[in-house]
Amino acid sequence: MPRYSKGEALDWARETMVGQWSTLVTPFTVDDDIDELGLRSNIRRIFSLGTQGVGCTWGMGEFWSLTIDERLRVYDIVVDESGDTLFTAAHVTHTSVKDTVLLANHAENVGFDLLVIAAPYFVTKTEEQIVQYVSHVAENTSLAIMFYNSPQFGIVVSPDGLKRLCDIPNVVGVKEASFDRQLSIDVHLLIGNESVVSTPDEWILFKGKELGFQQQVMFANTSDWRFDTPECNNYVSFVNRAIQGDVDEGFYLANISPLKKISDKWWQKTVKKFNGSLPVSMCKYWGELMGMAGGHVRLPLVDLLDDEKSELKSQLSSIINVSSQK
């Protein structure tokens, strides 16, 4: 059962969704099964970084490649391993609204705190379709819902459209991942005082300081487990201070910016190589270098080439300690 009633969803989100939340990859074994031990190990490592919550089966979790049974199994593992140590969010988007509700109901029944829903890809062309889809799912769950605004799903919702979505009683906010900086700013200014709005990149923290708004949660990215170690969690520490109003540019430039520059370079390079696809293969390999379980990506994604892995490893090794086994 949720930690809150349906009518309390927004209050719960405003009070609880703070600091750094992470996005999990779905690790696979050499036999192409879910690496259940690796997934559990990844969750424990993320907790050790000081992260507040984890989300699963999102874009980085290769949800499109998972069967319904595999998605349900990931949900079970994430809740079981997280226990009371981490808040949990399940991405439940599916092209079938019946399967979306099935996934949402299972997530609620096993103990997730939050759902993430995006536009069902392929057939969704208008904001009205999205409002009706999300409304239907919201009517069939008591959990709080974050809407995931991303071009990966085939449509980017406008600020006014996102406001309509957040008017649905248990839709508590937006993961604003449109990669359109002005749109992100406009969304924060339009609904950020009432709903939880998160752009999952540090630039928004600096822009918020400039324009007078404050993002309360970094929801959610891979930067904690790609940049930090349990012994040195500079990224999580920076986010935790920033959401309290202490956006320390000097600390950021000294401790995070060098890794961020490498990350941005490889993010853009990999996205370009695959004509716009999320750089899951790059993030999985980077995670392995940091001690996370990753494994291969599933088709139609493809892994980094060996020379690309060597180049990335060399660049990271000049800044942080990476695994010599990968």
Amino acid 221: pLDDT = 97
Side-chain half-sphere CA neighbours of 246 within 13 A:
9
Q: What is the pLDDT of residue 1?
A: 74
Query: Is residue 123 exposed (0-12), middle (13-18) or buried (19+ Cβ within 10 Å)?
Result: exposed
**Consecutive sets of 10 residues in the chain, 326 residues long: mean pLDDT of each?**
92 97 98 98 98 98 98 98 97 97 98 98 95 98 98 97 98 97 98 98 98 97 97 97 96 98 98 95 98 98 98 96 76
Which amino acid type is present at position 96? Answer: S
pLDDT at site 84:
94
pLDDT of residue 85: 96
Q: Which DSSP category does 301 fall into?
A: S
Cis peptide before 300 (omega within 30 of 0): yes
- Per-residue pLDDT tens over the stretch 191-208: 999 999 999 999 999 999
Dmax (CA) for the chain in angstroms is 53
Instruction: Write out the DSSP string of 19-87.
Output: EEEEE----B-TTSSB-HHHHHHHHHHHHHTT--EEEESSTTTTGGGS-HHHHHHHHHHHHHHHTTTSE
CATH 3.20.20.70 fits 6-247, yes or no: yes
Local structure of 218: helix, strand or coil: strand
pLDDT of the residue at 44: 98
pLDDT at 326: 72
Instruction: Determine the Cα–Cα distance for residues 172 and 170; give it in Å rounded to an integer.
Output: 6
Q: Where are the domains of the chain?
A: 6-247
